[in-house]
Each structure stands twice: as C-alpha cells, then as structure tokens.
Structure 1
C-alpha cells in the first residue's frame, strides 16, 4: 500500500512500507517549506522508521472509543496495520498534513452539523454514539468519545448573542466514568482562560453539561487547515501509548529545539502557565500529547493554545492519579520546592514571578469555583461533579501555595460551606493486587 502525503493540499511525498521499515520519500518538486514534520525536513534521501509507523503520522490516529467504532464500521477496509487505518482517516485530520490512498485528492465532504442545536439538545449517550458513528471517518486522537464536525451556516444572530467564530470544531462527549465532562472541562479551562495570559482553546458547553464544542486552532478563517500541529510525544519519537513516559524536562527539550530564539522566553512562560494550571485544578491527564507546537513555517513555531484541561480528581476512578508528567524526578501533587526550582533552572522564571503566577491562578480558581457552585444551584444534576471540582481546586491551591499543607490557603472553604457541600467521596481503589492474576484461586 502506497499513500500520498499532502501539505496544504499540495502533494509532497509518498508514504509506504518496505520490508520491516516505513518510508517517507519527498517528491522532487517539494520545496523546503513543504516539510511534513519539523523532525523530517525536505531532503533527497528517504526518511525511514523501523517496524512501526512514523510517530508524526501516529499522533492523530483514533484511539479507544472512536477506534472501536471505526473498526466496526470499516473493518473490511483495514488490514490490521496503522498504514491502512491512516489511509482511511488521514484525509481529514488535525493540521495542515493530509494523507490519502495513492492517486486520491485530500478532502472529505463532512455533512454539516447544527452546532447550536447540539448545544441545546438533550445529549444522551445513545444520541452521541450515533453522531460519533456518523462522523467517524476523521483522524482524531484520544480515548474519550469525540469527533470533528462542520457547522451549518447560520444567519446573522441578533446583536449581543454569542456566535461561533469558525465552522470547524472538535466535539467531545461524556461517558460513564466521566459524567458531565463538558461542564467539568468548560469551567476548568476557564480558570486559565479568564486571566488572558496565554492563548487557550475557545470552547462552549452544551446546556446539559454533557458536550463540549472546542474551536479548532489549526484552521484559518475559512475553516481550511493551514497550521502544522505536532505534539511532544511524536517529537520525542514515541508512540501514543507511551505519552505518560517522558518527563517534563524531556518534553521541554523536545519542543524548545524548534522554537525561534526570539520567541523562546514567551514560550517558556506559556508552558509555565499550562503546568501550574494542572496543579491548581488537579488535572492528571496532562501528558506529552497534550503539549504541542503549531506553525505555518519554521519561523513562527509556538505552543498551541492550551487545551484538554480537566479536573480529573473530580472523578473517583482518577481521584488518586498523580500528575501525568514528572518534574524534577517527582510525580506528585505536593512537589515542594522542586516545581519552583524547575521554573527557575529550566524555564528561566524567577521565584518572584513564579509566586505571582501561582497567586493569579489561585485567585482565578476562587472566582471560577464560585461560578461552578452557582451553576450547580441551577442544575442539580451538576452538583456532584461541581462539589468534587471545587474540593479538588481547594487541594490544588493548598499544596501549590505552600511546601507544607496549609489549610489557610484553601480559598474556597467558605463558598463550599455556604453551598452545603459535603466532603469529597473516597477514591475508587482496585482490589486487584498488581501482578496477581484474577484467574488464581483465593487463598
């Protein structure tokens, strides 16, 4: 099987398998700016990768729920390799690169979706599952149910009513393990977004709190993918299933190599804000695929707007999960001085600036936490997840503000008490001992 690789709709390379290697061969007329990946510039010799598909091409392959749907819907078209999966979904993925079967032009006509209706509808699991199947033929990574869709053209809304700025979005749903994920992610993202210190992906929550519609940042004003997007996992040469393996130091070293010198300090601060937010809101899912670069050329490489901020501690299944990436050799929510030391030594952010950033985020968490509580008063179904979100933020503020746990830094205590929230439930713990098979007889 041979695939055509396109950059901004221009065919620039061939991708195929040769014995035990995958090969990317640029065409003779490929220009230097037609590079497929920052790590694979245009050259005469082919690029080769042993055994598995190049990490760049694996970064947007479907995972989990969506992958299972695609296997059910398009099983006869798959031969069990990532190359055949890429041939099926690579024509309409994230970023400026499109991959198609040889001789096929990129671009899949996606039936428009009424976004405003989706935001107001009752989004049951069955309805969302049907939508995922309908829009399954797109390359979106991640394990939660989500898909790419095109918004229908809407007439001009009356002045003062919010409208979506682009017509392409990533739409994310909830599942049994993460109920009301739209509500959770919307307000968690808001903790950083309201400070207006770094770009944050724009998003909107459905009225029932189950769906999150995120504006894509890789498209231009016409909805055409025009930005390259590469996550740190791929830049490190790792497959997606090893996204938790790198350290934060390795992630920074892998990304900084491509950031222009004049942008370096601003991007240090960008990464700093993203890392600190995860500690405040207790997001254990910031892995190397959730830290990414985007660009139109090698001269404007920068971190993408921050995305996928979720208060994972709000869900029992993930309540005891540590941070996704270690810092200073530690993977804990109580990093002590190691986090501050990382900011100073690696990101060139002095202690005074670090302390100011922490306080800004904590103050924002208090403001948004009160919004979360107020919203849960209007919709009782959100009360449980709201309660655990604000408890998690309280924990995050307490441990980040002080090397030792200090209750005086729990900025939402009074609001939690006034709302009548009880304490958080105990995390779920597996009864299965690590390394012990469930098939063995009981002692």
Structure 2
C-alpha cells in the first residue's frame, strides 16, 4: 500500500494512503495548525477522495522536471507515488514524505560554493536530470517544457532556483531578468533574481525563494491559483482572472490592496506581452499578513513567434487588446473607484514607458528588439485609453 506522512513545517499533521477506492487523508488528532487547516480547500479532518486532492497534485513539478520524474517512475499514473519522491521540497510549508521519514533529512543535491567554478549544465544533469527528486517547478507550459530550472544552495543564497537558457527559447534568462528589473522599476513587488555565469560563461538566473525565511529554515504557506480554486494543474489556463481575484479577495488580509496589486501585475504582464500569466503563476503567501506573493516568472513571450501571443487568462472577457476601461470595470467589482484604478494605470504606464528604450539590454537581434518595442508601445497606448 502506498502511504506517506504530511508535515506542516516540522509538525506531523496527517497521512495520505492509497486504498481500494482511492486516497484517504487521515488527520493527526491534536496537531496545532497555524491557520487551522492544511490548505484553504482541505480542512484538517479525515476524508476519502477518488484521487489525490488537487492541493497535493499541484505540489508536483511541471514541465521538464515532471517529465523526468515520469520517465523514472514505476507507475506514471500513481500521483501519490510521484509526490512521495519529490514532496520533501515543495513550494510552501507542506511536505509529503514516505512513512517514517522525518523532515530535514534530505537537502538539495546541488550545493555550490562558487557558481563561477562549475558548469551549470553539468549541475543540472547531476542534480536534476538523473534524479528529479524535488518539486521545484521547472517549466512554464506555454514557454514549452523546455525551460530548465532546479534547486540549488549557493553561497549567501541558501534557498534558490537556478534557471538556464533552453535552446528552443534563446535568451530566456536575460529576458526574465530584464522584465523583473522593469517590474521593480514599475513598483511591483517581485522575487529577487540576478544573472550569474558559470566557468564557461553560460548565463543562469539565480532566483531567491520567497517562501523561505531565516536563511531557508522557516517555510511560509503559499498557494497558487489552481490550489486556491481547487483545480488540477492541467486546468491552469482555464479560470478567468475574476475567479482568481475572488479567491485573492477571500483570503488576503486586505482584499482591496491585494486585488489592486493583482490588477497591476496583470496590466504589467499585458504591457510586456507575458502570455504565461496562468493560474499557477499567481499565488497568495501567508507571511506576517496574508497577501499576494511577489511576482515571479515575469518575461515576454512576444519574441518567440511559435507561442500564442494572447494573455493566458481572460479579464472582462478579453485576452488581448486590453484597455484602461477594462481594468476600471474589473476594479469596480471589488470596490475600487474609477479614480483609483485610472491613477494606477497611468502611473504604471508612465513608469513603464522609459523602459522601452532599454529593451536592447536583453540582447535580442535588432529586428526582434524593434518588434518588441513597437508592440509594447502599442499596448501602452491601448491602456491609456
């Protein structure tokens, strides 16, 4: 029988086991949960499910790392078995371990003192390709399963993710680093990241995890849009932005503030042509207050013509040609005034406009750079209307 222990931080809070009719979650009596539940859609009580609950299903890695995991699994259809292999290092504060294993007994296999003295691709092959043994997300589906990312421990950054450039999408690392800087310049809160180089000059994006504090010791609870909506990861392109905003408003300490932050993130993603702002790329973080997490996976998909150029999710029934009025109407649903939303859009556009002249910093060839600048300018003009 396949079974595992569920921990929140260092505390055993439940067990998952497969039985003849599906999956049983058994709550541990007397466990003290910081929020009163395991997850927003999973009360702390014993219950039977036909299959692995969506909250846990969304802890599995995506894309390239999921494929590596499937390729080495005894059964490609047993999600619980897959989770028991990678559940020791998931996003957030929940860990799922084989029965009897204690949290903290495993650490990221890739530990580096000096990133400039190693080969990033050798690290990936040694620490991720041969054994996909952690649940750090490794790809965005719309940017294909080619995106390569894996957990590392580096000097001064005990909990980080290292992203590499896949051959299919040139300069993806530089692309994301530039638009993270731009987002910060546009007053969005984003995750900390910097470009680093290995001994061969290969660039990588070293991303500091924001679901870890105290040098990686303290884990923060975090749920992405699919988990908040109780949806499987395969449905991450299906919900509307309204559905996600409803769950953000329901769970965050200040609904109005966090919905406005979500609107700013969406408007910024529209400006830069981030066609991969799907439900798993929007998350709520339980820190001192409950709030929208810092923005992550922010990049432009426009330079890659093989990709759909529309927004991943619909806002006010639209996934393209968004205008300021669409955001005004959206904000009204949650009590944001037209004046407040218009001020937010105007400020965002004013802050974003100077960055159009800096797009060449990404390093695309001049034709791609000019095309990206032109499309961003068109989108800015649309939003100002």
2:251 pairs, out of 249, 258, 272, with: 258
Work out whether 1:176 is the aligned partner of 2:167. Answer: yes
CA distance in 2, matches of 1:86, 1:193: 34
- CA drift of 1:194 comes to 1.7
Contact 1:149/1:169 (CA < 8 Å) preserved in 2?
Answer: yes
**Taking structure 2 as the reference length, what is the TM-score of the superposition?**
0.87
Work out whether 1:310 is the aligned partner of 2:280. Answer: no
CA distance in 1, matches of 2:383, 2:94: 40
- Corresponding residue of 1:399: 382
- Corresponding residue of 1:362: 349
Work out whether 1:212 is the aligned partner of 2:196. Answer: no
RMSD after superposition = 2.6
- Corresponding residue of 1:70: 69
1:24-423 mapped onto 2 (5 Å cutoff): 24-33=25-34, 35-43=37-45, 46-50=46-50, 52-72=51-71, 74-76=72-74, 78=75, 80-107=77-104, 108-114=106-112, 117=115, 128-133=124-129, 136-143=132-139, 144-151=147-154, 153=155, 164=156, 166-196=157-187, 198-207=188-197, 210-260=203-253, 263-296=254-287, 300-318=289-307, 320-335=308-323, 337-343=325-331, 345-373=332-360, 375=361, 386-402=369-385
CA distance in 1, matches of 2:180, 2:113: 20
- CA drift of 1:4 comes to 0.2
CA distance in 2, matches of 1:47, 1:278: 39
- CA drift of 1:304 comes to 0.8
**Per the alignment, do residues 225 and 19 of structure 1 end up closer, same or farther by CA in structure 2, a change over 3 Å counting?**
farther
SS of alignment partner, residue 190 of structure 2: coil
Work out whether 1:3 is the aligned partner of 2:4. Answer: yes
CA distance in 2, matches of 1:288, 1:205: 26
CA distance in 1, matches of 2:367, 2:172: 12
- CA drift of 1:126 comes to 7.0
SS of alignment partner, residue 313 of structure 1: coil
Contact 2:89/2:136 (CA < 8 Å) preserved in 1?
Answer: no
**1:306-343 per-position Cα deviation (integer Å, ceiling 9, x unaligned):** 1111111121112x431111111222234563332112
- CA drift of 1:134 comes to 5.7
SS of alignment partner, residue 294 of structure 1: strand
- CA drift of 1:122 comes to 7.2
Contact 1:280/1:361 (CA < 8 Å) preserved in 2?
Answer: no
More strand by share: 2
- Corresponding residue of 2:143: none
**Per the alignment, do residues 42 and 101 of structure 1 end up closer, same or farther by CA in structure 2, a change over 3 Å counting?**
same
- CA drift of 1:390 comes to 2.6
CA distance in 2, matches of 1:268, 1:115: 40
CA distance in 2, matches of 1:115, 1:287: 35
Unaligned runs of 5+ in 2: 140-146
- Corresponding residue of 1:160: none
- CA drift of 1:276 comes to 1.1
CA distance in 2, matches of 1:331, 1:62: 26
- CA drift of 1:132 comes to 3.1
**Per the alignment, do residues 37 and 245 of structure 1 end up closer, same or farther by CA in structure 2, a change over 3 Å counting?**
same
Contact 2:89/2:134 (CA < 8 Å) preserved in 1?
Answer: yes
SS of alignment partner, residue 87 of structure 2: helix
Contact 1:62/1:140 (CA < 8 Å) preserved in 2?
Answer: yes
Unaligned runs of 5+ in 1: 154-163, 403-443
Contact 1:180/1:209 (CA < 8 Å) preserved in 2?
Answer: no
**Taking structure 1 as the reference length, what is the TM-score of the superposition?**
0.77
Contact 1:190/1:368 (CA < 8 Å) preserved in 2?
Answer: no
CA distance in 2, matches of 1:129, 1:386: 32
